Amino acid sequence: MRELDTSRGKLTLRELAGAREMVEAEQVQLAVWGADTYPECKEVLIAVQFSGGLVAGAFAPDGRMVGFSFSLPTREPEVQHSHRLAVLPEWRGQGIGAALKWFQRDWCLERGVTLVQWTVDPLRAENAELNIRHLGASSREYLVDYYGTMQGIDSGAPTDRLLVDWPLASPRTAALALGTPPDAGFADAEPVNVVADGQPTALYLGLTAPRLLLRLPERFTRLADNDPQLALEWRLHSRQLFLHYFERGYALTGFTRVGGPAYLLEKQEERHHVTPAH
């Protein structure tokens, strides 16, 4: 169990218990992603919990669930796949999403799980700020149209995702568990794209600097609702950049809002594969 002080009282973070709380988790998902989406139903949540996954919630002082997360066991005992994280709209801005992730870290480490992975939409800056800047996750794998056509927040657009890695016991993660340093930006990083009036106007594929900066749109969720064509342009623009630079040995390692939302891409050391002697 973990507690979180908020402006609306102290929240309790813990595993869910019983079918009634699993049903409440369904309602939280519907409130966050809309009635036209399919929540993870109580039967699935019960089965995931029984099989070694984490199904957790954040509870207000009156006992109401205001946040929810769950992760799945994988074929590797030391790895879990985090699938959902939801906070009711009226409770956002209180650090609940981050607190649920730190609860997940504690829970996993107690059980020998040292890596958590999940997928994120690379264009949603609010998610990037949590996942990359506050938690210390990183990515070097881009998944094109991962879920296929979906309703709800993607509204039929390509569902491209980043696969992010969160090494729970790394020095970086341990340091961030104590607090996130101020956002100083990445002044030394070379831009890979140009944004003017909210539109991606140019991209550069021939760069070799050790640190690169990839600009993102402001408020992509609102953009996708109001201008689907521009949202699609952003999707295809960023897809080309991610695929190109990941293929050339870069990894997404940082996020900033200085000068507008942007990712830091850093060149990784080459991995040399040695053929075993026979």
Show the domains of the chain with their CATH numbers. Answer: 1-94 (3.40.630.30)
- Per DSSP, what are the bridge partners of residue 152? none
- 58, 66 in Cβ contact below 8 A? yes
pLDDT higher than 70, residue 277: no
Q: Alpha-carbon distance 262 to 215, whole Å?
A: 4
Q: How many CB atoms lie within 10 A of CB 179?
A: 7
- 69, 54 in Cβ contact below 8 A? yes
Can you state the angle between helices 18-33 and 42-50, rounded to 10 degrees? Answer: 120
CA dihedral angle for residue 84, residue 76, residue 243, residue 69, rounded to 10 degrees: 10
What's the mean pLDDT in 216-227? 92
Q: Which amino acid is at 199?
A: Q
Q: CA separation (Å) from 6 to 107, 168, 244?
A: 22, 25, 42
Which of 83, 255, 97 shows the shortest CA–CA distance to 161? 83
Q: Report which secondary-structure segment, H or E, holds 132.
A: none
Model pLDDT, residue 154? 54
Report the relative pairing of strands 190-191 and 211-215 from DSSP bridges. parallel
Residue 266 pLDDT grade (very low, low, confident, very high; cuts 50, 70, 90): very high
Which of 209, 240, 242, 238 shows the shortest CA–CA distance to 223? 238
- Cβ neighbourhood burial of 209 (10 Å; 0-12, 13-18, 19+): middle
pLDDT digits (tens, 9 = 90+) for 21-62: 999 999 999 999 887 788 999 999 999 999 999 999 999 999
Query: pTM for the whole thing?
Result: 0.92
pLDDT digits (tens, 9 = 90+) for 149-195: 776 555 668 999 999 999 999 999 999 999 999 999 999 999 999 99
Q: Alpha-carbon distance 179 to 28, whole Å?
A: 28
CA 192 to chain centre: 22
